[in-house]
């Protein structure tokens, strides 16, 4: 199963994806997390040491251009770059979870033709998984990745939304674009919930209830400030990841 997560900036996508990775691993699944955010920090969230030694794929610009088939002076890219060896060459393992860091997949003046997006899209569509394997894709904030089609091979999109009107507007726009690119399943996930009114506000604004609600967790805030791996703490969110997994596997 290939699962992507999206939403407005600052809503907690990376935190939720890390907690889902932990939950899937504890349930016996083999987990690969791909950090495709232009400002990647999944490694810190997972507690990976020597982060500076991780080589983001997007930094290998010459290799990416060659893989994507772009020739000098041509604006076009090959839509079928070879990516098999990237899985082993750029994957690290930490605490039973595998991680790949794509790095910045958006190049300011190249839009949807950038080689980073092309390689990511090809990688996702090419991956063949067994029932016990899960790929979790931590996308950049907003809707740009949907316009580039970088999550074309995804089975389920989770849209994280917090109790604010701007977050709801972004979430609904993400859902519309996800429907346009024919993502099979799309679900909302509530975060930073403090009271029942927050749940009701989200459900009303979205037109449906999120499949799970994460509380406004003090334990998570403290862990982040203290540079503690979030997957090593036991915050008051334990039921939410389980609820999401039950929905995803249903």
**pLDDT higher than 50, residue 106:** no
**Nearest CA among 7, 99, 2, 86 for reference residue 46:** 99
With tokens 């400030």, the residue in question is 225
Structure token pair of residue 136: 């979790």
Q: Where are the alpha helices (DSSP H) in 40-128?
A: 42-46, 61-67, 84-89, 115-126
Domains present along the chain, CATH in parentheses: 2-50+92-107+129-249 (3.40.50.300)
For 157-177, what is the mean pLDDT?
Answer: 94
Considering the chain, what percentage of its residues have pLDDT values greater than 90? 34
pTM: 0.82
User: Residue 238: pLDDT band by 50, 70, 90 thresholds?
Assistant: low
Whether residue 148 contacts residue 111, with contact meaning beta carbons closer than 8 Å, is answered with yes
Express each pLDDT in 6-55 by its tens digit: 988 889 898 999 999 999 999 999 999 988 876 678 888 888 877 777 77
Express each pLDDT in 214-227 by its tens digit: 999 888 888 878 77
Q: Most confidently modeled of 35-39, 133-137, 139-143, 161-165?
A: 161-165
């Amino acid at each position: 199963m290939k699962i992507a997560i999206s939403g407005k900036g600052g809503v907690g996508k990376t935190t939720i994806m890390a907690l889902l990775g932990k939950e899937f691993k504890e349930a016996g699944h083999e987990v690969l997390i791909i950090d495709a955010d232009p400002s990647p920090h999944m490694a810190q969230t997972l507690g990976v040491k020597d982060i500076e030694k991780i080589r983001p794929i997007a930094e290998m610009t010459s290799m990416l251009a060659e893989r994507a088939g772009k020739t000098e002076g041509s604006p076009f890219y090959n839509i079928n770059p070879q990516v098999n060896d990237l899985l082993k060459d750029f994957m690290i393992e930490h605490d039973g979870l595998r991680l790949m860091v794509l790095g910045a997949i958006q190049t300011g003046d190249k839009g949807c033709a950038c080689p980073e997006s092309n390689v990511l899209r090809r990688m996702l569509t090419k991956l063949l998984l067994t029932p016990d394997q899960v790929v979790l894709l931590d996308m950049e904030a907003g809707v740009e990745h949907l316009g580039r089609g970088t999550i074309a091979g995804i089975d389920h999109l989770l849209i994280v939304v917090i109790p604010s009107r701007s977050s709801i507007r972004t979430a609904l726009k993400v859902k519309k674009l996800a429907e346009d690119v024919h993502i099979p399943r799309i679900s909302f996930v509530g975060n930073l919930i403090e009271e029942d009114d927050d749940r009701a506000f989200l459900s009303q604004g979205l037109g449906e209830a999120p499949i799970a609600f994460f509380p406004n967790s003090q334990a998570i805030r403290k862990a982040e400030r203290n540079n503690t791996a979030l997957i090593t703490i036991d915050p008051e969110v334990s039921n939410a990841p389980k609820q999401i997994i039950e929905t995803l596997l249903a």
